[in-house]
Structure 1
Amino acid sequence: MADTKRPHPREAWISSDASVSSTAGSELVCTYNWKNCDGAKIHVPGYAPIWQDIPLPIRLPKDQGTYFIDQNASRVPEFPFEPLFRATVSMNPSFRFDDVDVLVNRNSLRKLLDFSTGRRQDSFRINLHLVDRTLVVERCERSARELIRGYQNAGFGRSFEGAFTKHPAGLEDSAAHHRALKYQLGSLTCVDRFEVDACYQQKEGDDTEVLTSAMEQLSMGNRKRSYQQRTGNSTDGTNLAAEIKTAKVGKPKNMGTIMPQLWFGRTPWLIIGRHNDGLFEEVKITNTGSQFGDWEDKQQANLRKLAAVLAELREAVEANGGGNCVAICEKATAPPVIGVFPSTVARKAVPNDLRRQLWNSTSSS
């Protein structure tokens, strides 16, 4: 128990011996779209909004309104990973998490990578659960939503994304597209969940590919499913995934902060809209997937440290008897330190019915 309370300086982490590379590829676990409605309902499979070529220049308003920071935690606070689990049961019924070492959000991986590199960042907290041998890492934000009033400091990112993307037929009521990939992070088998901004197709295509997807509407919370029409096979679309950013003309984006986001999500396309006070004059589309190998070579030491951090976080929870823990990194601490502490909240990470379906063990502890 004492070990779980001891802070861990960054220098104390021993890098993993296993190399970290994206060349082995990834496996699609599931996709889903949150519905833009009251309650917690998702479309399964999901599909990202499709990128639209719009004539330039175009003037767009500043962002304004209430937006999700973490839509999963906001809609399903008791079980933030439940939509992923239910989408997996629907799309990938033979999938099991028994060989998965870590289930995590991309946002948490980015924070832990910053910690591993010693990069200065805001304080953060993550919740840690152990389900059989799988470490479940839950994102923990002060608020799962943010209010943007459209004042002087507001940006244009959400307006740009809304103007240049379109949800495919049958998914017009979508609020966001999420997907989960399984891949190796050194010796660890990880399932990483993240949001995809858009589907970018180099060649002109039509939406019929999306219309042939098998879609299902699932309701969270009440554990009931209501089915929609559609038959056919779902589309992976990993090679079409795109991240959308905006930047002022003459102010280049810092690729050092963007590449981890793209790499962890195996997102090959980066779309940057450049503007002068909301007048968008240029859109640059880059195949960043071709840069993954060079980036991971340069970041190899830090990626191995990240793998070691995740492994020791799992060991810390095991040392706590498998009970829930919280990991906290304080901004004011130099060098960066993560403290792991037993949680005072007795809460499961997975609903019992889903645990029975997705782990071969029948234990519900």
Structure 2
Amino acid sequence: MSHTYLGSFSAGYGAGNKYKPPHVKDLEDWASGNLIKVVNVSDLPNVETSPKIERCEYVVSYNWLDRPEYPTILVPGSPPLWSPSPSMKRLKEDSGEYFRDPNAARYSRYPTEPMFRALLTLHPDANLSSFDIVGCGSTLGNLLRFCAGIERDFRFDIDRVRDTIFFIRKERSPTVLIPDVCGYGHSFPEAHTIWEPDVKGSASHQRIIQYDFGGLKFLVRSESDGYLKQAENPEKVEEKSGTDNHTLLEALRVTEESSSTVEPLRIEIGGRRIPQKAIFDLKTRAQETRRPIDMDEVYRRLWVNQTSYFIFAEHFRGSFEPQNIQPLCISDGISKWEKDSEALLKRYQATVMEIITETRSSATGKLQVIRRGSGSLEIQERVAGDNTDVLPHDLRNKW
């Protein structure tokens, strides 16, 4: 799975803030709000139906442009194109610094805002109140891990906007970095994908899809590794005639909402819609480790964001042979995993409903979810003094 490389962007956004993995003490520091409810997997109510994802649709996408002086998104953008080398390549091991959460790092005031600016740019009449849950691969993936009994420390915030519940990724700081970068998980995609001319200067591609699950309508954002040319039917997006980027921006934002330390979000039109069926996720592995890929983890992640292709690349000491790089269509595998994981997905649905119930009955609608290691899920009031809204007022007023 790709992550955003800081490059020239790092100097202005705190790249020196080295990431330290969260420990119990850090989570206790976070968890200063009053405890509302403890959720244990063994105590979850039974779900009678067999939940599965239905009516999945690509909604919109955007690229973060690598512009350190001001945050800019390109709508709809497009992901990197898979462009493998026909001959063996020996790559240098990963180096550099990468953000864990590119949206928070590039727009810390309202990390969720860009997805709705992008959505309303291409779909100005969208019914935002039709969504029950707005989440991302990180927040929903962590809930799935909790339901599967997988050990993981995590925290995310919750905000209610009318009847829509937002799950908001929360790291220790917006510019937290991936620790101890090594291997070839970054150098490999950089060598085997390209940003096409209409999206040159991009640093990250973010996709938003919608689907129904367990009687709820989800809106889900995730970062994409790239797309396969042979699997797409591209839809070109022409810039609106008579509308320059400045005019578009003024129509889509409220300038007085901007923090003195965060530049207003800028929006440009460019790229093209790439269908969800052409999107891939990738993973590299050293042949000498002989450790099998954890396909359950792969299926969980790709089920959440409904990614059709998985590229698995084996290497020997950084040498990647073309025959050891295999793009696989795993849609059928994900469907089988979904069917075989009925008990897990019932727990997942019940957990989401527990969070919804507590959030809708909360006076403020601002909560947080904490989990330590293999422990219970704790739903708490937001930490003292944290009344941060998920979106600026002009967007909240569209619900």
Q: TM-score range by the shorter chain?
A: 0.7 to 0.9
2:27 is matched with none
Residues 74 and 267 in structure 2, CA contact (< 8 A), matched pair in contact too:
no
Q: SS of the counterpart of 1:17?
A: coil
2:193 to 165, 174, 186: 165
The reply to whether residue 253 of structure 1 matches residue 293 of structure 2 is yes
Q: Aligned pair 1:262/2:302, yes or no? A: yes
- Paired residues in the alignment total 342
Secondary structure of the residue aligned to 2:145 is helix
- 1: CA distance between counterparts of 2:225 and 2:368? 30
1:296 pairs with 2:338:
yes
Q: Secondary structure at the match of 2:128?
A: coil
Cα shift at 1:241 = 0.3
Q: Distance in 1 between matches of 2:87 and 2:298?
A: 25
Alignment of 1:107-122 (within 5 A): 107-119=138-150, 121-122=151-152
Tell me the equivalent position of 2:41. Answer: 10
Please say if 1:238 is aligned against 2:284. no
Does the CA-based 8 Å contact 1:65-1:147 persist in structure 2? no
Moved over 4 A (4+): 147-150, 215-228
Structure 1 distance, partners of 2:57, 2:37, is 36
Do the aligned partners of residues 329 and 241 (structure 1) sit closer, same or farther apart at CA in structure 2, a change above 3 Å counting?
A: same
* Aligned residue in 1 for 2:222: 194
- In percent, how many aligned pairs have the same letter? 26
TM-score by length of 1: 0.87
Cα distance in 2 for residues equivalent to 1:130 and 1:355 = 10
Letter in 2 for 1:169: P
Deviations 1:208-245 (A, max 9, x none): x57x32369687855565655x6xx9424101000011
Contact kept in structure 2, 1:4 and 1:317, CA below 8 Å: no
CA–CA separation in structure 2 for the residues paired with 1:227 and 1:198? 21
| Residue in structure 2 matched with residue 362 of structure 1 by the alignment | none
Please report how far the alpha carbon of residue 292 of structure 1 lies from its aligned counterpart in structure 2 after TM superposition. 2.0
CA distance in 2, matches of 1:111, 1:100: 20
Among 63, 66, 69, the alignment partner of 2:100 is 69
**2:327 maps to which residue?**
285
Partner Cα separation in structure 1 for residue 364 and residue 49 of structure 2:
26
Instruction: Flag the 1:252–1:65 CA change in 2: closer, same or farther, 3 A.
Output: same
TM-aligned CA distance change 1:235 to 1:247, over 3 Å: same
Which string of whole-angstrom CA distances, capped at 9 and with x for unpartnered residues, describes residues 144-191 of structure 1?
4326676xxx11010000000011112110001011111012111111
Matched, 1:337 2:376: yes
Matches of 2:218 and 2:46, distance apart in 1: 17
Displacement after TM superposition at 1:338 (Å): 1.0
Give the secondary-structure state (helix, strand or coil) at the position aligned to 2:87. Answer: coil
Aligned-partner residue type, residue 192 of structure 2:
F
Q: Which residue of 2 aligns with 1:87?
A: 118
Q: Give the match for residue 168 of structure 2.
A: 138
Matched with 1:348 is 389
Q: Which amino acid aligns with 2:279?
A: A
Shift of 1:202: 2.8
**Structure 1 or 2: more helix by fraction:** 2
CA distance in structure 2 between the partners assigned to 1:108 and 1:147 by the alignment: 17
For 2:300, what is the secondary structure of its paired residue? helix
User: Match for 1:7: what amino acid?
Assistant: V
Q: Partner of 2:202 in structure 1?
A: 174
Give the conservation status (yes or no) of the 8 Å contact 1:194–1:265. yes
Offset, 1:18 = 3.4
SS of alignment partner, residue 66 of structure 1: coil
Segments of structure 1 that go 5 or more residues without pairing to the other structure are 360-365
Q: Kindly state the Cα deviation for residue 269 of structure 1 after the two structures are TM-superposed.
A: 0.4
> Aligned pair in 2 of structure 1 residues 191, 15: CA closer, same or farther (>3 Å)?
farther
What's the Cα RMSD here? 2.5
1:106 alignment counterpart:
137
What's the TM-score once normalised by structure 2's chain length?
Answer: 0.80
How big is the shift at 1:280? 0.9
Offset of residue 114 of structure 1: 1.0
Distance 1:165 1:224, change over 3 A: closer
- Could you tell me how far 1:9 is from its partner in structure 2? 1.5
Unaligned runs of 5+ in 2: 1-32
Cα pair 1:4 1:316 within 8 Å, conserved: no
2:311 maps to 1:271: yes
Separation of aligned partners in 2, 1:147 and 1:350: 26
- What's the counterpart of residue 30 of structure 2? none
Deviations 1:17-37, CA, capped at 9 Å, x for gaps: 333223x33122210000111
Give the equivalent residue in structure 2 for 1:363.
none
The answer to whether residue 238 in structure 2 is matched with residue 214 in structure 1 is yes
Query: Residue type of the partner of 1:264?
Result: V
Residue aligning to 1:58: 89
Tell me, what secondary structure is at the counterpart of 2:139? helix
The SS at the match of 1:45 is strand
CA distance change for structure 1 residues 11 and 198 in 2, over 3 Å: closer, same or farther?
Answer: same
Contact 1:327 1:341 in 2 (8 A): yes
3-state SS of the aligned residue for 1:321? coil
For 2:48 and 2:178, how far apart are their aligned partners in 1?
44
How far apart in 2 are the matches of 1:290 and 1:99? Answer: 29
Q: What is aligned with 2:4?
A: none
How far residue 46 of structure 1 moved from its aligned partner, in angstroms, is 1.8
CA distance in 1: counterparts of 2:87 and 2:131, whole angstroms: 46
